[in-house]
Amino acid sequence: QVQLVESGGGSVEPGGSLRLSCSASRATFRSYAVGWFRQAPRKEREFVAAIDWTGTSTDYQDSVKGRFTISRDNAKNTVYLQMNMLNPADTAVYYCAAERRGITTRIISAYDYWGQGTQVTVSS
């Protein structure tokens, strides 16, 4: 069992930046792919970004390309989501998830472990 803990959420004005972190309880996390998902009020959870276990393959939802960057530091068992040029449409609870095969995927059901989420609010 791997426990994931997200941090770094908060409130920011449009155009601002936040960096989310996803920290894992076990070193086996290093061999997992990690995805970030988000869920806004009254909407379904959606894919945001993913990174494979090596950190060399990434995938992004079209609406965040060029603004968000996913990266990982396996020595720290941590994956990051740098979010720039935030806008109100980015407001949601952000979740990280880990997938044991190590391959990036957008499919929610493919992920084996989930964190509890962190709130991101973009508002003026």
Residue by residue, pLDDT tens for the chain (124 residues) are 899 999 999 999 999 999 999 999 888 899 999 999 999 999 999 999 999 999 999 999 999 999 999 999 999 999 999 999 999 999 999 999 999 999 999 999 999 999 999 999 999 9
pLDDT for position 27: 87
Burial class (CB in 10 A: 0-12, 13-18, 19+), 51: buried
pLDDT at position 63 is 97
Pairing of strands 10-12, 118-122: parallel
Q: What is the DSSP string of 14-83?
A: TT--EEEEEEESSGGGGGSEEEEEEE-TTS--EEEEEE-TTSS-EEE-GGGTTTEEEEEEGGGTEEEEEE
**Measured between alpha carbons, how far is 104 from 71 in angstroms, rounded to an integer?**
13
**Residues 4, 97 contacting (CB under 8 angstroms):** yes
C-beta separation of 21 from 6 below 8 A: yes
